[in-house]
Amino acid sequence: MLSQIPFSNLFLYPPSLGLLLLVIAVLFALWSYKRTAVLFSTLGLGWILLWSLPITSLYFGGKLETRYAYVDAARAPRADVIVVLGGNTQANRANWFEPYNRATAFDRIDRAAALYFAGRAPKILLSGGALEGKVSEARVMAKILRQRGVPESALILENDSRYTYENAQFSDRMMQGAQLKRALLVTSALHMPRALATFIKRGIDALPASSAPQITLPDDEPLNPWVPHIRSLEASRTIIKEYLGLFGYWLRSWV
């Protein structure tokens, strides 16, 4: 889990790292190391500027989101179970460069329901423990799916996992216990490369069935990818987290 890496949260959001570098620059300036101060000032401001540009999010986020092609639910492969990972990405908005619109919001639950009603798998395994309080993400997702018409008998709840590796570990145990072999894995497109690699490393026969990519230029508003945009900075935290997560999982041989 990324939060297990010491001080990682400080560096996830570019303004935080940029401010830290500027503070270091001030200290060097006070110690009369002017060239070093200029270097750290340039690095700090440059890091913030880099991630404020939509082109940066489009490139680095797109490299992850397009790793596996998005397909409509009706065209997705068949499996024994749909595994849905708990989590939320940018308030589920359809496009990160647009304001949140509840009417167009689409999350992992929507994707799982669409796959289920398209007959892609007869079971849905919901994986996610309680991040706060006592109610697990799996229970919350199950309630929403029942409201949308998915029968209780189709739902399997995994209530203990806290991060992606445990999603795979605990889901694997439950799948083996229920004799479920092949899984359609549902998560955000950005998270899919790390999630799928983790599941496959566990020996699970998993196929990608992510939500549609969210880091794309909006159709209904002009946006210059080379001009700084506040939502690029908002998106940067999650993008950087995924790259650090992939690196951390690789170091631990989890992917």
Q: Are 243 and 60 in contact (CB under 8 A)?
A: yes
Q: pLDDT tens digits, residue range 148-194? A: 999 999 999 999 999 999 999 999 999 999 999 999 999 999 999 99
Q: How many CA atoms lie within 13 A of 225 on its CB side?
A: 9
What is the rounded average pLDDT for all residues in the chain? 90
User: For residue 79, which of 119, 113, 112 has the smallest C-alpha distance?
Assistant: 119
What pLDDT, on a 0 to 100 scale, did the predictor assign at position 222? Answer: 82
What pLDDT, on a 0 to 100 scale, did the predictor assign at position 93? Answer: 73
Q: Are 188 and 211 in contact (CB under 8 A)?
A: yes
Residue 99 CB neighbour total at 10 angstroms: 9
Query: Is residue 88 very low, low, confident or very high in pLDDT (cuts 50, 70, 90)?
Result: low
What pLDDT, on a 0 to 100 scale, did the predictor assign at position 8? Answer: 54
Q: Bridge-partner residues for 157, per DSSP?
A: 126
Handedness of CA 48, 54, 56, 60 (dihedral sign): positive
Q: Are 204 and 167 in contact (CB under 8 A)?
A: no
Q: pLDDT tens digits, residue range 204-244? A: 999 999 999 999 988 777 889 999 998 898 889 899 999 99
What pLDDT, on a 0 to 100 scale, did the predictor assign at position 107? Answer: 81
Structural domains present in the chain: 2-63+226-246 (no CATH), 70-213 (3.40.50.620)
Three-state DSSP state, 174: helix
* CA 69 to chain centroid: 16
| DSSP per-residue letters across 5-30 | STTHHHHHSHHHHHHHHHHHHHHHHH
Distances (CA, A) of 8 to 2, 5, 23, 82: 7, 6, 18, 32
Q: What predicted TM-score, i.e. pTM, was given to this entire model?
A: 0.89
Q: pLDDT tens digits, residue range 26-46? A: 999 999 899 999 999 999 999
H-state helical runs in 13-136: 14-30, 34-52, 54-65, 108-117
